[in-house]
Amino acid sequence: MDLTLTAAELSFQAEVRDFLEAELKPEWRGVSHVDNRTQPAIMAQWQAVLAKKGWLTAGWPAANGGLGWSPMQHHIFKEACSKARAPKIPTMSIGMIGPLICVFGSPAQQAFYLPRIVSGADIWCQGFSEPGSGSDLASLKTAARREGDDYIVSGQKIWTSYAHLASQMFCLVRTDPLAARPQAGITMLLIDMTLPGITVRPIRTIDGEHHFNEVFLDDVRVPVRCRLGGEHKGWDVARALLAFERSGIADVVATRQVLGDVAAIAAGEKRDNASLLDDDDFANRLARLEIALDSLEIFEMRVMEATEREAAKEYDVSLLKILGSELKQKIHMLGIEALGRFAAAWPDDDAPVHPSGAGAKLVVDALFYRAGSIYGGANEIQRNIVAKSLLKSASEI
């Protein structure tokens, strides 16, 4: 794959850089996207700037505000944003449920939800996992029975990221408990989080933050018009959504930024006029990770291109998720090693902070990304998908 930029791509790259230079306020730069204290407000402001420019929904279908960017243009945009340390674009709404509503939503649903997603009026959360139904998602038990023009929903969701901030939840429910296959009795509902009967309880994570929650649904009355796709057809809708989610997890450009931070930390670790970068073992490990990242970047571009042609293979998306999440973890762990005693610093405590300034953020992010091999479907399950597909292809030779 030739990654050399054409003249048109170079000009687009310059346009994106100029835009970031002009619009990205200094105080918005470099906020960790896992920092739930300051990030949501900053993210909302940045979202408004991008929406005004028309770039927020560049990846959506043209009829819904998409710009028909090529995979390379998306890559250039993401890379420039990452280098400028712009805030993250909200994945759940812009990257997941927005495109899904474009594909599966009725005209009335598109007219209602999409402008609210773009303006940031709605923050979304994903109600899929339940206690006992994570990897085996099709076994989910949250029940929805039809009563006139409503579904009455009862059950429990867990690990629901940002449910405490969300105004809407896309939620999988069981509408046919007697279906021949568990997948056949599932429906997707778009649930207003202010409806009576919804309780959200926080779960704190190892990075000290409040990312996710338990969500209890107790006889919640959800109008039938809030169903996305057909009744009992939610599994197909969910599969389309999970492919969006998994293909975004590798996030190579953000990982490259972390690799740069690790190299900068190592360069600053000096003893006897030599830095950690002069240590053969450390330099070797850093170089190996950089090479792995270069290959992953090409693989990510290939998957993006195939996705555009609707030819992405499910196992390629799974492979991307496995390799991307594990590489991100390895790079963060090398960063922790480079930080040495500074890795004990926590954003709010009095411990000495690494002179590069990258220390505390790297530690918090490293702890958060331990979860990267779990969320979006655990990596063991992704390996099963890869093995099943490849063994099936091999048996067909």
Binding site for ligand FAD (CB under 6 A): 125-129, 134-135, 159-161, 211-212, 371, 374-375, 377-378, 380-381, 384
Tally of residues, the chain: 397
For ligand FAD, give the closer residue by CB, 238 or 345: 238
Both tokens assigned to 102: 């474009």
Write down the least CB distance from residue 205 to ligand FAD, Å. Answer: 7
Can you tell me the distance from the alpha carbon of 388 to that of 169, in angstroms, rounded to the nearest whole number? 32
- Partners of 228 in the beta sheet? 188
Write down the least CB distance from residue 22 to ligand FAD, Å. Answer: 34
Write down the least CB distance from residue 195 to ligand FAD, Å. Answer: 18
Report which residue's Cβ sits closest to ligand FAD: 134
Q: Which residues contact 325 (CB under 8 A, 6 or more apart)?
A: 249, 250, 369, 372, 373, 376, 379
- Identify whether the C-beta of residue 205 lies closer than 8 Å to the C-beta of residue 368: yes
For ligand FAD, give the closer residue by CB, 322 or 331: 322
Catalytic, out of 79, 130, 245, 269: 245
Residue type, 345: A
For ligand FAD, give the closer residue by CB, 21 or 136: 136
Write down the least CB distance from residue 265 to ligand FAD, Å. Answer: 25
Can you tell me the distance from the alpha carbon of 297 to that of 259, in angstroms, rounded to the nearest whole number? 13
Beta-carbon-side half-sphere exposure of residue 378 (alpha carbons within 13 Å): 9
- Identify whether the C-beta of residue 197 lies closer than 8 Å to the C-beta of residue 220: yes
For ligand FAD, give the closer residue by CB, 75 or 211: 211
Short-list 166, 161, 144, CA closest to 202: 161
Q: Tell me, yes or no, if 245 is annotated catalytic.
A: yes
Write down the least CB distance from residue 157 to ligand FAD, Å. Answer: 6
- Identify whether the C-beta of residue 296 lies closer than 8 Å to the C-beta of residue 256: no
Short-list 207, 318, 323, 328, CA closest to 259: 328
65 sits in the region (left: phi over 0; alpha: psi -120 to 50; else beta) called: left
For ligand FAD, give the closer residue by CB, 359 or 372: 372
For ligand FAD, give the closer residue by CB, 77 or 124: 124
The gap between the terminal CA atoms of the chain, to the nearest Å, is 27
Can you tell me the distance from the alpha carbon of 373 to that of 368, in angstroms, rounded to the nearest whole number? 11
Q: Which residues contact 284 (CB under 8 A, 6 or more apart)?
A: none
Write down the least CB distance from residue 291 to ligand FAD, Å. Answer: 28
Both tokens assigned to 366: 């490293």
Catalytic residues: 245
